[in-house]
Structures are given as C-alpha cells and as structure tokens.
C-alpha cells in the first residue's frame, strides 16, 4: 500500500481520507472525529464509522476520538443514519434512543422466568462509554449499532 501523504506546492504535507466515498484532505496527521465531521460537512451528531474490511465490525468514531491519517492507505469512513440495530439473544431490534435500561433489554429478550429469581444481562460491542459488562436492575447503558445483549434467567437474586 502506498502512503496517503502528499505535498502541496508549498511543501505542506496533505493527508487524504474518504467519507462515504468522497475524497477529503487535511494538513493534520492526527484529526478528531469532530474535525472529520466538519471537513465532510456532517452534523456533530452524525453516526461516523471507520469502514472496516469485509467481515470486521465497523468502528464508531466519536467527536473526541483521535484518528491517525498517516497510516498506509487512505482512511475510509462511512456515515449511517440514526438507525441503530441491537441484538438481544441473537435477535436484531431497531432501537432509536441513546441509552437502554436493564428492564427494556429483559422485556425484549422474551426469556421465560420459570421460577427464576432474576436475570443476568451481559453486553458486548458497546460504545467507548461502556464497551462490555453486566447490567443489573435499574441500570442503563449507552447503545451503538451492532451492540450485543445476552439475557438469561437465574435462580440467584
């Protein structure tokens, strides 16, 4: 792969990247998610992701994330609408809020209680605020596209 660094006539290095297939450039090797959004004319609340190769999960880019444009190749980003799909016990659900509660996830899971004292909710592939962990009654977590939740009943309270 060739480097994405070019020099303009004045000798300034230029770093190239793409957003939704459209070419952009920056004189800064390290840029924030907010700077990428501004250069591409996106709103600050746009869902911006690093476009990962086939089979790999696209990586969400927050406004505060720092991206190194000096790596080999052209960094590629994609935007998604606010449609977020979460998976609960393998079943996809569209979700349109920033956070989800333990109780909402248990309701979506449709796990029969069968004398259970409670539920165990594990999650993974979450955003940087809460990438993975356990939920308990009364708690909530931030969600992101392709986040996984696993719910099972337990006999422990």
The CA distance from 143 to 100, in Å, is: 7
* 86 in Cβ contact with 56 (< 8 Å): no
Lowest mean pLDDT of 49-58, 98-107, 134-143, name the range. Answer: 49-58
pTM: 0.51
Question: Where does the pLDDT of residue 148 fall: very low under 50, low under 70, confident under 90, or very high at 90 and above?
Answer: very high
Tell me the per-residue pLDDT of 66-115, one tens digit each, with 9 for 90 and over. 999 998 888 999 887 666 889 999 999 988 787 899 999 999 998 876 65
* 60 in Cβ contact with 145 (< 8 Å): yes
Whether 7 shows a pLDDT value over 60: the answer reads no
The three-state secondary structure class of 151 is strand
Residue 134's CB: how many other CB atoms inside 10 A? Answer: 11
**Tell me, what's the pLDDT at 44?**
61
**Tell me, what's the pLDDT at 3?**
40
């Amino acid at each position: 792969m060739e480097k994405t660094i070019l020099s303009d006539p004045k000798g300034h290095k230029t770093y190239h990247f793409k957003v939704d297939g459209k070419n952009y450039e920056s004189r800064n090797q390290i840029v924030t998610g907010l700077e990428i959004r501004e250069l591409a004319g996106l709103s600050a609340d746009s869902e911006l992701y690093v476009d990962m190769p086939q089979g790999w999960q696209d990586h969400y880019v927050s406004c505060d994330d720092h991206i190194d444009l000096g790596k080999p190749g052209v960094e590629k980003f994609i935007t998604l609408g606010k449609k977020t799909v979460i998976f609960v016990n393998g079943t996809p659900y569209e979700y349109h809020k920033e956070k989800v509660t333990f109780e909402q996830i248990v309701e979506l899971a449709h796990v029969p209680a069968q004398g259970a004292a409670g539920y165990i909710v594990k999650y993974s592939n979450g955003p940087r605020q809460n990438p993975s962990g356990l939920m308990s009654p009364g708690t909530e977590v931030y969600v992101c596209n392709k986040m996984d939740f696993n719910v099972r009943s337990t006999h422990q309270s």
